Chains A and B, each alone.
Chain A
Amino acid sequence: MIEEQGHAPVVVLAAVESGEGYDRVVEAAAAYARGQRDSELHVLHVVEAAPRDPDVFDAVSDRALAMAKAILERASDAAREHFHGAVTEHLAFGTAWQEIVQVAGSVRADIVVVGTHDRTGLERWMLGSVAEKVAQRAPCAVLVARPRQEDPDRVALRRSGRGRAAQP
């Protein structure tokens, strides 16, 4: 990914979710792409649908499809704002992590950027997070873009110079 790869462009795939996290994912992906001599950026949004459902396309209502397209368009616009190379849009249907891994393979991505699509509580405990699954299965490097959560206690600790925080 980082080493010399001949003249092939570095392929960056940004997997955006429906919530607010998309801009963080797009920004991180665009920043990474900008840092390369030659790169292309792909933006993917997955419409979650039951896996292996033959009627999956029928099952996705027009409204859901319109929403998904809007999410993808918003994210791609943001991507073009931050990155001036080629931006390609992908819309996929199915289980998020599977589709992300699949598209990462088909575009021969060097790195996938995912947000935290997070399930919560019991569901996450049982099924694992999308990010975790992608990190395990993707054929390339995976960047999980998370918001910085400053723990107030830690900040206080650091400011007061206590704790092991300052130096490893």
Chain B
Amino acid sequence: MERLLVALDGSARAKHVLAVAVDLAQRTGAKLHLLRAVALPPELPAALWATAPTDATESLLLAGRRDLEDLEALVPEALRGGVSCQVGVPWDAICTAAREWDVDLVVLGSHGHGLLDRIVGTTAAKVVNHVDRSVLVVKERSRREG
């Protein structure tokens, strides 16, 4: 394996997902590409768009990117393949990036079992269904810990 795409959201479990990916990369010699997709909230006040749409997007992207760079600092230097923060629907952005970067494996976390997840399906489920690469879905925590 040469390239792993690690999809990280802003949640606390991102670190766990990254740790699993680092472990895999260390064994396979693959580089890690970290991706954060920032979905614009649909209820974003119209006024915000009217005044400074670019600024709103930019500041979201900037925050996401900074977050991602903090996470990348946890990755051994030799395994770093770059970070990317994009605006988009997460599952769609992940599928697109997987193809564009021609990765061997997508690593991402699974959601909990919240109501919303049950209705719309998780990002993980969507990615599993739509991406044409292998996918590793990491659970929040191993059942053995529980």
Contact = CB atoms under 8 A, between A and B. Distances in A.
Interface of A: 1-3, 5, 8, 28, 35, 105, 108, 110, 124, 128-129, 131-133, 135-136, 138-146, 148-149, 151, 154, 158, 163-165, 167-168
Given A139-B143, A140-B143, A2 B35 contact: no
Contact of B128 (A1, A5, A105, A132): A132
12 contacts: A2-B20, A124-B129, A136-B122, A141-B136, A143-B136, A146-B133, A146-B134, A158-B102, A165-B101, A167-B82, A168-B81, A168-B97
A82 to B, nearest CB: 16
A55 to B, nearest CB: 32
B125 interface: yes
Give the interface SS of chain B, mostly helix, strand, loop or mixed.
Answer: mixed
Contacts of A158: 102
Nearest to B135: A144
Contact of A28 (B134, B137, B144): B134
Given A1-B144, A144-B136, A168-B101, 12 more contacts: A1-B142, A135-B110, A135-B124, A141-B139, A142-B136, A143-B134, A148-B133, A154-B99, A164-B100, A168-B81, A168-B82, A168-B84
Contacts of A131: 128-129, 135
Interface string B97-110: 10111101000001
B144 A8 contact: yes
A87 to B, nearest CB: 21
Contacts of A124: 129
B83 interface: yes
Contacts, number: 100
Given A140-B139, A149-B132, A158-B102, A135 B82 contact: no
Contact of A135 (B33, B81, B128): B128
Interface of B: 19-20, 23, 27, 33, 35, 81-84, 97, 99-102, 104, 110, 121-122, 124-125, 128-129, 131-139, 142-144
B137 A141 contact: yes
Nearest to B23: A2
Contacts of B129: 124, 128-129, 131-132
Contacts of A149: 132
Contacts of B128: 129, 131-132, 135, 142, 144
